[in-house]
Structure formats: structure tokens, C-alpha cells
A and B are shown apart, each in its own frame.
Chain A
Amino acid sequence: MSTTTLQTSQLQPEAAAYETVLPAGEHWIHLIKKGQTFRIVDLEGNQAVDTLFYKADDFSERYSAVDTIREQGNVYLTTGSRLLSSECNTMLVITADTCGRHDTLGGGCSAESNSVRYPRETRHMHNCRDTFMQGLLQWGQGMDKREITHNINFFMNVPISPEGKSTFADGISEPGKYVEMRAEMDVICLISNCPQLNNPCNAYNPTPVKLLIWD
């Protein structure tokens, strides 16, 4: 896991069973079935895509950043990373990645964390955890705020230093870069296409992403 290698996919967009464009600031919640392949395309570059996964038939089992990091022995996600659940089961495997590295320690922005990280008036700016909440409320089934755990930030760059420091750095993604993953169980995917304007996670310009699913 210690070297960055870019892996392209053989899957053709015209053969996808599902395709949509998700504007910045919008949520998307969708079932991805075992064996299906899911791709996120960073259409205009440097767009953080905040993503959570739940086991479809028992959402108390969900993506776990810390179990994923510990079991792969590395803090960054790329091709070959197994996205593990809170019970250490493999939910998805990253099968292609033309960006090279994705964050899972930076979490999602919120009104409340804005009020800590930036001048207090930034509380009232659109944010990922409110967007996640809209998706959870849309899905229903008893989902609530407790489902908002530590997400993946696809295409986002959060370097961790050997001295124990972390920063939000300029992105390393570019227009058309994508990441692709195969579901190893039926999962519900919840995305907030990040609207943050106060740090370089989106190059200060949130943009749309494309989502595709192949059977």
C-alpha cells in the first residue's frame, strides 16, 4: 500500500446500468448490490465526495474508517483498499483509481464544525453533514443522526505527518479522474457532494460529479 499506483478500468460508460450527475451541495442515497461496480468521476477536478456505506439489510453495520485503516496498515485509500465495516467485514473493494489517494480521516464538514474551524458566521453555510441528514431522512427506515459516522472523502487530500499533524491540502485530483469499487455485499451508499467554501478541499469551487453503476 505504500506506493501510489494508478489503475484504470476496462468498464465502458455506455454499458453502465445507471448513471447520474450529482451537483455540488446535493445528496445521493442509493442501493448498490453485491457484485455491482460503482464509479465516481470527478468531472471538473478537485471535488471532495463525502461518502458513507451501510449494510443494506442492517444499517447498524456501516463503513468504519478506523478498521479499514488499521487492517490495511495505511491511512490512505486507493486501488486494492478493502472498505471494511464496523464489524470488519469487507463492504467494497477499490478496483480502479486514476487519482491515486483518497482521505478517510478528515470527516465531513458541518455547521457546528465550521463554527470551530472558521469565523463563527460560517455556521450558516451549506455543509456535508446537513446534506447527509437530508439523505438519511429521505431514506427513512429509522435512520437518524447516529448514522453519520466517519466517512470517506474521495478525491480529497489530507496529508498526515510522521510528527502527528494533519492538514487539508490542495487536491491532487484533476478533471475526469475517477475511483471505482466493487460491492462485496448489498450496501446503501450515501453521498454528500461537498459544498465547503472555506478550505482547499474543493479548490474553493464545488463542482458536479458523475456516478455510474455496472451490473
Chain B
Amino acid sequence: MTPETSTILFEEILPGGWNRSLLLKRGTALRLTDLEGGANVSALFYNAHNTTERYNMPDTLKAQFISCLGKGTVCYSDMGRVLVSLIDDSCGWHDTISGVSNARTNQRKYGSHPYQSARNSYYRNGFDALLLELAKYGMGKRDMVAPVNFFTKITVDTTGDLMFITGNSPAGSYVDLQAEMDTLVVLCSCPHPLDPSPTYAPGQTKLTVWHSAIPPEQNICRSFCPQNQRGFMNTVEYHL
């Protein structure tokens, strides 16, 4: 089911530059909608019942022979299971190889805009925002791994050089993540450090959760590659 045909369980606006977390139960899905265009939503995923099991970027890439995420791909945990599957996506490219901003990259790019002078428009960075959200669950720096940067496109040329592609996510772009396990989703909406825009102006993202309940055998992500069939099998067996 899509959010248009199902009962919405939760809907909220995540302002630009902020952090949020939610428990996404197995069989529900989260739609991230880039309301203004050009958003960057960094995301980490954990097994809600054992957070030492977490999103693993290299396992995700090598299992699916990809270097970015899009419709039909999944986010693997380090335990060979599928945390979330990308059941729909209007964007086509979501980065997972280039990390998030930190206090140093923000200072270098935008200068200092602390709370004292800027109030709640103060400039926030991805590392501190994610860490803050992790700390609310008793986690810390050792639990930080490479995140997914939804809506951000960074290509790699034949020599290995990175290039940030502007305009990957027009206003209204969305990506739908179905939880294949009870998943703790940790988000932040700080600008990507390679975004060439000199202005700190992160846009709003809408978070929508609904009961999607697409079974593995009908999930397009399962047929993406034989590896995903085995990944879904591992995930189903975990819940027996």
C-alpha cells in the first residue's frame, strides 16, 4: 500500500538542519519528501532490539553491485539482514559514500553562527546532530557509521574523483523506506558538506509513516538481484 491508499500513522515536518529519530516497526514505511528541493537527509539505521546491529554501507554496496541507493535496492545491516527496502523513489540516486558535515566543515564553509546570536537559526552540522540523537538511546561515537545521504547525488568519475550533482532532488522528490525489521531510524537534515551552495539554507522534509505491509515475495527489492533474495531469506528467518 502507498501513503495515498493507506491510513497515515504519523506525519511531521523536519525543519532543515535538525535531527529526529523514530522507531519504524516491521511492515510500516517511512516516506521522506523533499518539500523545497535540494534537501540532504542523512540517515542511520539500527536493529531496534539490538543496536549493535546497524546499517553497513560496504555490505549494502557490494551485495547489490552499486555505489548509490535507488528504487529496488535495500539497506543491509552488518548481520546480513535487510533493515529497510527502498520500495519507491522519485530521485534515482542517494549517496552513501561521503559522510556528513561536522563543526570544522561548517566553520570552513559558512563561518560562525552560534545560538547566542542566531537563536534557533544557528548553523548545525551533521556529525553533532546525529551524535546528539544517538545519545538519546545510550549510543555514542562508537555507534556512528557511514550514513545514507538521501536526495544527495555525488558521482565518481573513472579516476575516482567525486562530483556533487546539483538539482538531483527537485521540490516534491520522495523516497519510501519499508522496514523489514523493527528499525530505529536516526535522521538529520543538515546540508551536505560538498553542496557547492555557499549559503546555509537547508530545506524542510516531510516525514510520513504508514502501514505498507508489502510481503517479501511481492517486494521489488527482493528480485533486484539473487543476493537480495538471500538477504530477505535471512531477514524472514530472524523473525521465525
Contact = CB atoms under 8 A, between A and B. Distances in A.
Interface of A: 1-3, 59-61, 64-67, 69-70, 73-76, 86-88, 101, 105-108, 110-117, 120, 129, 144-150, 158, 160-162, 164-168
Contact of A116 (B58, B80, B161): B80
10 contacts: A66-B97, A74-B160, A86-B141, A110-B59, A112-B234, A116-B230, A144-B52, A146-B142, A160-B97, A165-B66
B227 interface: yes
A117 B63 contact: yes
Contact of A149 (B98, B145, B231): B145
Contacts of A150: 56-58, 145-146
Contacts of A144: 52
A107 B59 contact: yes
Interface in B114-136: 127
B175 to A, nearest CB: 15
B93 interface: yes
Interface centre among A67, A76, A113, A115, by most B CB within 10 Å? A113
A65 B146 contact: yes
Contact of A75 (B65, B97, B105): B97
Contacts of B159: 1-3, 74
A116 B63 CA distance: 7
B111 interface: no
B90 interface: no
Contacts, number: 141
Contacts of A158: 62
B62 A70 contact: no
A164 B57 contact: no
A187 B105 CA distance: 24
Given A107-B57, A113-B63, A165-B67, A66 B99 contact: yes
Nearest to A64: B99
A160 B67 contact: yes
Given A116-B76, A116-B227, A117-B63, 15 more contacts: A1-B160, A60-B140, A65-B146, A66-B99, A67-B99, A69-B98, A106-B61, A107-B57, A108-B58, A117-B62, A145-B52, A150-B146, A162-B156, A165-B65, A166-B67
B contact residues, range: 35 or more
A113 B127 CA distance: 27
Given A2-B159, A88-B104, A120-B230, A112 B78 contact: yes
Interface in B144-191: 144-146, 155-162
A116 B76 CA distance: 10
A21 to B, nearest CB: 27
A107 B145 CA distance: 12
Contacts of B141: 60-61, 86
B23 interface: no
A116 B74 CA distance: 12
Given A116-B230, A164-B67, A74 B155 contact: no
Contacts of A162: 155-158
B62 A69 contact: no
B217 to A, nearest CB: 18
B99 A161 contact: no
Contacts of A60: 140-142
A74 B99 contact: no
A152 to B, nearest CB: 11
A129 B162 CA distance: 28
B59 A146 contact: no
B162 A75 contact: yes
Contacts of B76: 113, 116
A147 B141 CA distance: 10
B162 A74 contact: yes
A145 B143 CA distance: 10
User: Which 6 A-B pairs give the minimum distances between C-beta atoms?
Assistant: A107-B58, A112-B80, A66-B99, A2-B159, A60-B141, A76-B160
B63 A66 contact: no
Contacts of A106: 58, 61-62
B66 A74 contact: no
A164 B143 CA distance: 27
